Chain A
Amino acid sequence: MSSTGKNVETALERQKTPAAENAPASPTMAVVAPAIGWLIPGLGHIIQGKWVRGLLLMVSVVCMFVLGLKMEGKIYAFNTGDLLDMLGFIGDLGSGALYIVSRALDQGSGAIFRATADYGTKFMIVAGLLNVIAAVDAHHIALGKKR
């Protein structure tokens, strides 16, 4: 086999190794991907070329948050009162732009009268927490810890 052929073969083998597959996109991406993924759910994956994963995450988080709003759930504002209210705020904040826009439009501020409205509150908190998990996943992909 010629030396050029060997070089091509070696290069192809190197591409197949896990280390090469998990190579980090860029150090900047490791910061930008989770930040943008937090602000707009799923976008951290989409900008790294993981379209299907990103869209599925986006649909899941956005649908959960919007369903929570439609179920007349409560959105927590920043507060230093009750501990559970503070935890609720942290959970809601995980939704990024969804939380900011909803607060700006004065959504989710009504009193809770039904059990399903309380479920709506939990839907929005969990949507925020799931979005944080998705943002961390985008960070791991950018670092090369995950394909």
Chain B
Amino acid sequence: MLSPLHLSHFAAALTFAIFASVVFGITQRDTPKDMVRYGLYCFSLFIGGVIVAGWAMWLIKH
């Protein structure tokens, strides 16, 4: 049995964004340079989306 891991919500979203961006970058572009650029673009969208959604939820609550 693996020892349990309790990540915070943001850490989980960050980890998810890193791995998903790597796969998207490699599979959706042809050249290494484009892969890195697209991976970084996806990562920034993931994290940007998390921050925007977080602030939206804060505004709804208040």
Contact = CB atoms under 8 A, between A and B. Distances in A.
A53 B7 contact: no
Given A56-B26, A146-B30, A147-B30, A64 B19 contact: yes
Contact of B2 (A53, A69, A119): A69
B62 to A, nearest CB: 21
Interface in B10-42: 12, 15-16, 19-20, 22-24, 26-27, 30-31
Interface string A105-147: 0010000001110010001001100100110110000000011
A92 interface: no
Contacts of B9: 115-116, 119
B2 A116 contact: no
A71 B7 contact: yes
A70 B3 contact: yes
Interface in A38-83: 53, 56-57, 59-61, 63-64, 66-67, 69-72
Contacts of B23: 57, 60-61, 130, 133-134
Contacts of A64: 15-16, 19-20
Contacts of A146: 30
Contact of A60 (B3, B4, B7, B19): B19
Contacts of A70: 2-5
A147 B33 CA distance: 13
B6 interface: yes
Interface of B: 1-7, 9, 12, 15-16, 19-20, 22-24, 26-27, 30-31
Interface of A: 53, 56-57, 59-61, 63-64, 66-67, 69-72, 107, 114-116, 119, 123, 126-127, 130, 133-134, 136-137, 146-147
5 contacts: A59-B22, A67-B5, A67-B7, A107-B2, A134-B23
